[in-house]
């Protein structure tokens, strides 16, 4: 999104970040990425959906771990940002600054994606041995923790072992992040299942705030997770999805080499993806999605 006269201090694949001194203003745009590349076409309402789902989870899981969230109310914006309140409504978060851990904390509860591909070849997922005879989309005997590095935009994350994670951030922090990630996933998966959604896998990011581990960035959204409809779940093949699978599937079929620049998306893929994001929000929160800015 464009805010005339404002330039982000940093940009992620989806989020624009403004440095306010002791705090950050994080703005979720409608950009979408796939295969670690930002695509040229936005997905309508996506930034609002991601922000509001994250806000739901920050509150729902607050007894597991603290988060960096201060406020998502535009009335709490600093004075110099007040003129942008209408554009930022529904897609901004004021957060505390954190010392970010340079790893992504991935939890997998089902056999899908790159995990399924590795299992077919080696019987493992991220090097962890699994029972023989599993099929695509099978529920794992128990969720597994499979960390990765945090890649720069346009580069690919790299799966790492827990031992390597310990080398990067220290055993104490690595153990804490692993245990918290598994607890967050289990709690969220239970809630989502009661709403008709299976969370096949997800990733969390953490940082230190005043020396304490805090959950940061987005949480359990269609961008950071695989969401499947529970009523049609059937192991043995890929599952329909609430996330950006429409986009991934179209890109895979397009012949794109997964290197920048990415091709433009057809209108029907954009519309279907937007609908799936909204559907995920409404199922998880139990609330209708009402856009706050058009």
How many whole angstroms separate alpha carbon 66 and alpha carbon 261?
38
Mean pLDDT calculated for residue range 266-286: 95
The pLDDT-based confidence of 158 (bands split at 50, 70, 90) is confident
197 CB neighbour count, 10 Å cutoff: 23
Q: Which of 48-52, 72-76, 129-133, 150-154 has the lowest mean pLDDT?
A: 150-154
- In whole numbers, what is the pLDDT of the chain averaged over residues? 94
Q: In the prediction, which pLDDT does 154 show? A: 52
Q: In the prediction, which pLDDT does 15 show? A: 94
Residue 2 lies in a domain: no
The pLDDT-based confidence of 156 (bands split at 50, 70, 90) is low
Q: In the prediction, which pLDDT does 3 show? A: 76
- The tens digit of pLDDT for each residue in 221-273 reads 999 999 999 999 999 999 998 878 789 889 999 999 999 999 999 999 999 99
Mean pLDDT calculated for residue range 2-6: 75
pLDDT at 203 over 90: yes
Residue 108 lies in a domain: yes
Q: In the prediction, which pLDDT does 155 show? A: 60
Residue 83 lies in a domain: no
The pLDDT-based confidence of 6 (bands split at 50, 70, 90) is confident
How big is the CA angle at 102 (ends 201 and 74), to the nearest 5 degrees? 75
Do 26 and 95 form a contact (C-beta atoms < 8 A)? yes
- Smallest Cα–Cα separation from 72: which of 51, 50, 46, 53? 51
Residue 220 lies in a domain: yes
The pLDDT-based confidence of 152 (bands split at 50, 70, 90) is low
How many whole angstroms separate alpha carbon 17 and alpha carbon 218?
13
- Smallest Cα–Cα separation from 192: which of 238, 227, 143, 141? 227
pLDDT at 207 over 70: yes
Q: Give 67's DSSP letter.
A: B
Helix (H) and strand (E) counts in the chain: 7, 16
Residue 202 lies in a domain: yes
The pLDDT-based confidence of 20 (bands split at 50, 70, 90) is very high
Residue 57 lies in a domain: no
pLDDT at 151 over 90: no
Token duo for residue 23: 């705090």
Q: In the prediction, which pLDDT does 78 show? A: 92
How large a percentage of the chain has pLDDT more than 90? 86
283 CB neighbour count, 10 Å cutoff: 16
| SS3 call for 196 | coil
- The tens digit of pLDDT for each residue in 93-118 reads 999 999 999 999 999 999 998 999 99
- Smallest Cα–Cα separation from 221: which of 93, 58, 83? 58
The CATH number linked to 217 is 3.30.470.20
Q: In the prediction, which pLDDT does 195 show? A: 96
Q: Give 8's DSSP letter.
A: -
Number of domains the chain is built from: 1
Q: In the prediction, which pLDDT does 257 show? A: 94
Residue 176 lies in a domain: yes
Mean pLDDT calculated for residue range 284-293: 92
pLDDT at 286 over 70: yes
108 CB neighbour count, 10 Å cutoff: 24
Beta-strand runs (E) in 130-251: 139-145, 148-149, 197-209, 212-216, 225-229
Q: In the prediction, which pLDDT does 242 show? A: 85
Residue 81 lies in a domain: no
pTM score, whole prediction? 0.93
Q: In the prediction, which pLDDT does 157 show? A: 76
Domain region containing 156 = 100-242
pLDDT at 292 over 70: yes
Do 17 and 97 form a contact (C-beta atoms < 8 A)? no
Q: Residue 94 contacts by C-beta under 8 Å, 6 or more apart in sequence?
A: 20, 23, 24, 25, 26, 69, 70, 71, 72, 76, 77
């Amino acid at each position: 999104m464009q805010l005339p006269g404002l330039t982000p201090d940093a940009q992620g694949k989806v989020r624009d970040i403004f440095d306010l001194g002791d705090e950050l203003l994080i703005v979720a745009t409608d950009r979408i990425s796939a295969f670690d590349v930002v695509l040229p076409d936005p997905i309508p309402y996506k930034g609002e959906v991601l922000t509001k789902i994250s806000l739901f989870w920050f509150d729902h899981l607050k007894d597991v771990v603290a988060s960096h969230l201060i406020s998502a109310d535009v009335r709490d914006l600093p004075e110099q940002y007040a003129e942008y309140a209408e554009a930022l409504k529904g897609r901004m978060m004021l957060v505390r600054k954190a010392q970010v851990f340079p790893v992504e904390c991935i939890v997998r509860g089902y056999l899908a994606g790159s995990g399924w591909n590795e299992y077919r070849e080696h019987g493992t997922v991220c090097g962890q041995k699994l029972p023989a005879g599993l099929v695509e989309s099978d529920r794992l005997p128990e969720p597994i923790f499979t960390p990765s590095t945090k890649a720069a935009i346009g580069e690919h994350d790299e799966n790492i072992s827990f031992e390597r994670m310990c080398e990067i951030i220290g055993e104490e922090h690595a153990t804490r992040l692993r245990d918290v990630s598994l607890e967050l996933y289990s709690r969220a998966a239970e809630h989502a299942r009661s709403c008709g959604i299976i969370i096949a896998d997800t990733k969390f990011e953490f940082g230190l705030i005043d020396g304490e581990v805090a959950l940061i960035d987005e949480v359990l959204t269609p961008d950071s997770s695989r969401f499947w409809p529970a009523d049609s779940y059937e192991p043995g093949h890929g599952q329909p999805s609430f996330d950006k699978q429409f986009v991934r599937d179209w890109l895979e079929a397009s012949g794109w080499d997964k290197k920048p620049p990415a091709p433009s998306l057809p209108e029907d893929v954009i519309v279907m993806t937007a609908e799936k994001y909204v559907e995920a929000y409404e199922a998880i929160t139990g609330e209708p999605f009402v856009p706050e800015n058009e």
